[in-house]
Every structure is written in C-alpha cells, then in structure tokens.
Amino acid sequence: MTGLRPSRESDVAAAREIFRLLGDLPLAMVRISEFMNDRSYSYEEFLPVYKKLAKRIYASSVPPMQYGHTLDTVWEASFERLSTESKTLLNFLSFFDPDNIPESIMTNARANICEPDLRFFIYDSEVIRLSDNIFRDAVVGLTKASLVSHLSARKALSIHRLVQFTVFSRLTPSDTSVFLKSAIRMLSYSFPNSWNETTNHHDDGWQSWEAFQQIFPHITWLMRLVETHSLTVADIEIFAELIFRAGTYLWEKEKPTTAQSFFRFGLQLNLRPPTQNYAQAYRYLGHIALDLARPKAALSAYQQAVSLREALYGPNSPSVANVYSSIACSYAGQGNVKEAFEYLSKAVDIHTIDDTLLMNLAEKQIMQFKYPKHSGNIILLARIKHAEGLKKEAKQLALQTISIRKGLFGKKGPRVADSMFTVGRMLEEGGEDALAAKYYREIIDMSRGTPEMQGHLARSLWFLAGIEGWVGDYDKAAHARG
C-alpha cells in the first residue's frame, strides 16, 4: 500500500516485521502507509519509530475517505448506544487475542480485580447472580450491536480485528494502564501456577498445560501490545512471571527456540535482580540451551542462575544445589564427566534427605519417570554409569530415554536427537561404528531444515565424518565435515 519497494534485505526484514505487528489490518496498513509516504521513510527507518510511537501515529493520521463513514459516523453512533458495562467490556477485549476469548478468563474471582469499573466481570460467590446478569447483559449489548460474536459452544467471545484495533486506538493512557494491569492478572490466575514450586513429582504443572493452551495466545497478544505501543507495565514482576510460564510451556512442548525468545523478552522488562523469577528464568535458559545442543551456553546460563540464587538464599541453599545438578548436566554434555561428578557431589552435600534431587532417589524410581525433564535425569545417570565403566547399564538407560521421549514428543525433535546422540557416542566408544553411524544419520535426517536442531545436526555430522574417515571413506568424511 505504500508503493515502496524494499531496497535491501534489511528493508525486507523490517517490512515483514511491520506487517506482523500490524496484524494484517487493512486500515492500519493504510494509515501507516500515509505516515511513511508523508515523511519519506523506508521500512527500516519506520520500524523503530512505529515501535515507540504507534499510538501517536494512529491518532495523528486521518482515515481515508472510503473508511470515514464506516469508522467515524457509524462507529460513534454504535458506541454511544452501548451501556456503560458494554463499553467497558468492549474496551477490555482489545487486550486479548480476538479470535477466541474464554469468558472464564474474565469471570475468574481468583484474579481479585479491584478496579470498580471491572467488578461486574467477577463471579463473586456473594453476588454471583447480580454479577452474572450484568456481565451477560454487557455481552448481549455488544452482540446486538454486531461488535462482538458470542461463541456459545466454546463459552467464549470473538471480536473483529478492525473493531478491536479502532477501540484500542481510542483508549486514554489511563484506561490503557488499568486494562493492561487487569488483563495480566486475569491471565495469570487462569491456570495453576507452579512456576516457582518444588514438589516430589518434579512436574512444574505438567497437568495444567492443556488448560494453558487456551491462555497462551492471549499472553502473546499482550506481549505484542506492550512491544508495539511501548506500554508501561504497572506490575512488572507478575507480567514477567506470566511470560516465563509461557516460555516454560513452549519448552515442555519442545519448541526451544520460541521458548528462548519468551524468556529473553521477560528478562528485558527491567526486573530488579536478584529476584526468584529472574534466577529461575536463567535456569530455564540453561535447559533450553541443552536442548539446542549448546552445553557451553547452558553452563553460562546456569552459572548466572547460581550467582542470583546465592545472593537470594545463600551459597549452601537447596535452591543453589538444584542448579548444581543442572551444571552437572551441562558438563556431561561437553564430555567433562569429572566436573559433572564434582558438581553433583556439591549438590548432594547441600541437600537434605527429604530433598528431591536426582541423587537422593532410588535408581528404580528414576528409571520409571515419564515426565520430560526426568528423561534428562536418566541421561545424566547414564553418562555417569558410562564413565564408571558400567557400559551395558549406561546404554540401556540411554536407550530407555529414546523410548520415553518418542512417546512424549513423537519420533523427531531436540530431545529425541539428544538421546540418540548419547547412544551413538556410547556405541562408537564400544567399537560398534556401523550402528553408531546409523544413529548419527537418523539425527542428521531429522535435523535438516529445522532451526532448533542445528546444534544436533552439526555435532552428528562431525562424528559421522569421524567414523567415515576411520573406515577409509574419505570422500564421505570430507563431505560430512564440509
């Protein structure tokens, strides 16, 4: 719509990012096109301006003639006919992903929304009938005005992106702040929070991930609003924790690259370290780096987590010991079993008998674990046994993790590749080169064209090349290492 052709790759990338931020809204595209043309901006020049001043840009631009009647005349008439509660609800809906907004998010009393104008959302047990009726009436008012659709089967609402965009662009800074704060609280309390809990099950809320699938698009939407419009978040700690929980969900669903971007986004929110959330986020960045076959990067993140937890809890706390066990995994991933032993010993020295550290559990319990992170514990145990000379037991443990991870994540993915690589290295060290090469080739096949698998691809190519060279197939070896 701008009539401008991107002049170079950086301009193309900026144009794509602008259209992503706009959310494919035609009116938004028309308005920013006018703004760019008036000021002779390239896409690359406009992107940082848009990120800082988006709301001001929309406020200063005049809708084209073809939109004037639709959005000025009819819109004002429709909006003015709404009840106060319907107007409030419509404004609030601009802070959620528009396609499927579960009513349960907005009517959850646990969120403890204190804003007087929003109290009618909440199903308070003492006034449940009154609040229920007011909320329902507000929804009916919006559906009758054709501003919102009620998805009865899903017990959810949807709103057209153009309507939502127009509503958001007309909010005052004060209203924006109130609605943003309330939306964050509602999302935060909409599913069980085990982000900072330690239980005997080591599960970090695995049971809640199904419920979280409904919440996730709305967290992404809020992140985009905050980034695009440079919104000020009143309670940074709650928002950061919500984003970290979303990142954990992505990590558990084996999307490490996207999960990494969520943790980095949260860490850029001007949290005041050291905080519990800050330290925990760095530990998860370490977990993600291990999944990406980057054990040195994992070690760096874990060391940052240790430093933060020592400042919070002291050097001999169980929280620090937990990270020591993670550091052991990163050293084992680098083939440095001696350092891995040392950090596990440090962890065992700190932990009490009631702690749930890997080394305090019976091996039989460890080998029965099915939760994703437990397969990582089994891999660590397998590497330790292999270093102790218990080759057969080590290989059996590593093979077991392949089955566990394939059962959880399917036949491909970073964790499956990690288990297969561990087995391949054990086979190679045992002189079973042909079988080891088979594992490396499978990893190579599943890794090509997948960004989060590039670390696994690189190391499998390297070790496969070593085998090919060893057996005299120098052409294949050179090709693999090239």
Structural class in CATH, domain 276-360 = mainly alpha
Residue in 437, 477, 479, 476 with CA at minimum distance from that of residue 460: 437
pLDDT at 162: 80
pLDDT at 10: 81
Residue in 354, 288, 291 with CA at minimum distance from that of residue 321: 354
Q: How wide is the angle at C-alpha 406 spanned by C-alphas 405 and 411, nearest 5°?
A: 135
The DSSP call for residue 154 is G
pLDDT at 61: 54
CATH topology of domain 363-481: 1.25.40
Burial of 407 per CB tally in 10 Å (0-12, 13-18, 19+): exposed
The answer to whether the 276-360 and 363-481 domains have the same CATH topology is yes
- Tokens 């009916």 belong to 140
3 state SS of 151: strand
Cα-based distances in Å from 191 to 109, 242, 329, 461: 13, 11, 31, 42
pLDDT at 362: 45
- Tokens 């709404």 belong to 82
- pLDDT tens, the chain, 482 aa long: 555 677 678 878 887 777 776 655 555 666 677 777 777 778 888 777 776 666 666 555 555 544 444 455 556 667 788 999 999 999 999 999 999 999 988 888 787 787 878 877 765 444 444 455 788 889 999 999 888 999 988 889 999 888 888 899 889 999 999 999 999 999 998 876 767 654 434 444 555 566 788 899 999 999 999 998 989 998 899 999 999 999 988 888 888 899 999 999 999 998 777 788 899 999 999 999 988 888 899 999 999 999 999 998 888 888 888 888 889 888 888 878 788 878 877 877 775 433 444 444 444 444 444 444 545 567 777 777 777 778 888 888 877 777 777 777 777 788 888 888 888 888 888 888 888 888 888 888 888 877 778 888 887 887 788 777 654 454 554 454 44
Burial of 3 per CB tally in 10 Å (0-12, 13-18, 19+): exposed
- 102 backbone dihedrals φ, ψ, rounded to 5°: -60, 135
Cα-based distances in Å from 279 to 187, 266, 304, 318, 461: 22, 12, 8, 14, 35
Is 380 within 8 Å of 332 (Cβ atoms)?
A: yes
Q: Where are the domains of the chain?
A: 9-62, 83-172, 276-360, 363-481
Query: 102: which strand partners?
Result: 156
The DSSP call for residue 232 is P
Residue in 400, 415, 468 with CA at minimum distance from that of residue 437: 468
Burial of 347 per CB tally in 10 Å (0-12, 13-18, 19+): buried
